[in-house]
Amino acid sequence: MVHLRYLGAKHRYVPHWTDGTRAQQLNAEVSADGTVATLHLPAGQATVSAQEILASDHYGALLTRLAANPETQRLTLGQSHDGRVIEAVRFGRADAPGLVILLGRQHPPEVTGAVAMDAFLVALAKRMNGNPALARRFQVLAVPFLNPDGVARGHWRANHGGRDLNRDWGDFSQPETRAVADWIAGLPASVRPVAMVDFHSTRRNLFYVQGESETDEAQERFLQAWLGGQEQAIPGYPFTIERRNANPNSGTSKNWFHAQYAIPAYTYEVADTTDRAATASAADVLAGRFLDALNEVAP
């Protein structure tokens, strides 16, 4: 029997027992206030995890697969506290003026957001490679595994510096966030960010976008071109669009990129329990619409 006591958090995920051949859902007795969960473990050797484990070997394989196309470049942006590499891929040409930034796994357990990001990247690569007109106008920097130490160490939110990375944008006190900011700061002046999407997981499928008072006409057109009318249109993937007027000093990537560059900056949140295949096929559809929206609206 194992008691989990959550400090500053509540029980969120159904634990799974994975013995190498199969994953079995474990029942947890959860206290009324959600802060203690008791698990009864079967006999034997296994891994107990909340979600499927997508860690460094998964991302190594993903980046290798994406970078197998000669038009995609694999980049090392920096190192984590533990010395793990912060890697990225770039689609599009290095001199393309419009830069899209995609971020993933700031929060270690948020695996459904990662499932969406994987499919989103594969879909973007498919559409951008072999499309020289698009690759001349836009480049995409994708950093799908921004908190490798947190994932390796089984952290709930923080990196190995004890910081929630999605509260560090602007401070850049951590090597992981700094790696991305430094890379952008080193770009030629002719390259400017045009959009940012950060992939996460929560209880429902939703997009956090700018609030009414923070958006301008071009950003509103981008939002409508990308997500407008899609809330109930994708099979198995209903979602909502949540407008948030936000404090630019909150330290989230969404608010920092929006405040810094006056661009659409969104959080792509996938529910913890959404079917993985539906998540991936929705991300494929939304990646296509994302490029269409860029084409139509971005400068």
Residues forming the site for Zn ion (CB under 5 A): 107, 110, 200
**CA-to-CA dists, residue 106 to 18, 41, 160, 193, angstroms:** 24, 30, 12, 20
Nearer to Zn ion, 265 or 293 (CB): 265
Cβ proximity to Zn ion, 15 vs 108, nearer residue: 108
Angle at the Cα of 94 (from 210 to 68), degrees rounded to 5? 100
Q: Least distance in Å: CB of 107 to Zn ion?
A: 4
Going from the C-alpha of 226 to that of each of 8, 138, 199, 221, 258, the distances in angstroms are 36, 16, 16, 9, 17
Q: How are beta strands 138-143 and 2-5 bridged, if at all?
A: unpaired
Least separation, in Å, of the C-beta of 145 and Zn ion?
A: 14
Q: How far is the CB of 35 from Zn ion (least distance, A)?
A: 20
The owner of tokens 């499309």 is 131
Question: Is 87 or 110 the residue whose CB approaches Zn ion more closely?
Answer: 110
The least CB distance from residue 163 to Zn ion, in Å, is 14
With respect to Zn ion, which residue has the nearer C-beta, 167 or 200? 200
Q: Which is nearer to Zn ion, 129 or 250 (CB)?
A: 250
In the complex, what is the shortest distance from the CB of residue 267 to Zn ion, in angstroms, rounded to a whole number? 8
CA dist., res. 290 & res. 103, Å (int): 15
Across the chain, which distance is largest between two alpha carbons, in Å?
A: 61
Euclidean distance between CA atoms 288 and 275, whole angstroms:
20
In order of 17, 35, 52, the CA distances from 255 in angstroms are 38, 30, 29
CA distance 88 to 198: 14
CB of 110 to Zn ion, least distance (A): 5
107 vs 137, beta carbon nearer Zn ion: 107
CB 282 within 8 A of CB 236: yes
Nearer to Zn ion, 16 or 107 (CB): 107
Q: How far is CA 174 from the centre of its chain?
A: 18
